[in-house]
């Protein structure tokens, strides 16, 4: 169990590092990279929860699907938490793989705001599990 908690804590810390990087990248007008880091903030936050179950997946879509099925549909997290990973995943894919994809500062700011909300909810969950 200790190793699960350690992995979960590491992934949560990684989510915070990604969020910090996203904000730093916006400051230097690198919006595509900021969108990438916003997504990975959410992805690592989800994986921090899965680590507590000793569950992991090879594909991002499987992580998102498992999170939705086991944590949103069961009412552990608000339904708003269901849309955020998919939205950020889509933008991250476009930013990373479409040569001429353009994301505005406003759009990436919304991405970061969503990631902050998501990470905050995950952090609350972790705090409640430790009680």
* Distances from the Cα of 56 to the Cα of 4, 25, 60, angstroms: 11, 29, 10
- Indicate the domain borders of the chain: 2-130
DSSP letter string over 36-61? HHHHHHHHHHHHHHHHHHT---SSHH
Contact call for residues 85 and 66 (beta carbons, < 8 A)? no
Per-residue pLDDT of the chain (131 residues; tens, 9 = 90+): 579 999 999 999 999 999 999 999 999 999 999 999 999 999 999 999 999 999 999 999 999 999 999 999 999 999 999 999 999 999 999 999 999 999 999 999 999 999 999 999 999 999 988 76
Class of 2-130 in CATH: mainly alpha
In whole angstroms, what is the distance from residue 21 CA to residue 63 CA? 22
pLDDT at 77: 96
| Token duo for residue 6 | 């350690």
């Amino acid at each position: 169990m200790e190793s699960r908690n350690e992995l979960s804590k590491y992934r949560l810390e990684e989510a915070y590092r990604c969020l910090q990087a996203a904000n730093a990248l916006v400051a230097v007008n690198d919006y595509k990279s900021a969108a990438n880091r916003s997504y990975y903030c959410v992805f690592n936050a989800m994986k921090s929860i899965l680590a507590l179950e000793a569950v992991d997946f090879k594909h991002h879509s499987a992580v998102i699907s498992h999170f939705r099925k086991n944590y949103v549909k069961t009412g552990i997290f608000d339904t708003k938490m269901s849309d955020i990973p998919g939205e950020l995943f889509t933008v991250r894919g476009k930013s990373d793989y479409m040569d001429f994809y353009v994301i505005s500062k406003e759009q990436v700011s919304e991405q970061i705001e969503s990631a902050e909300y998501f990470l905050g909810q995950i952090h609350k969950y972790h705090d409640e599990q430790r009680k």
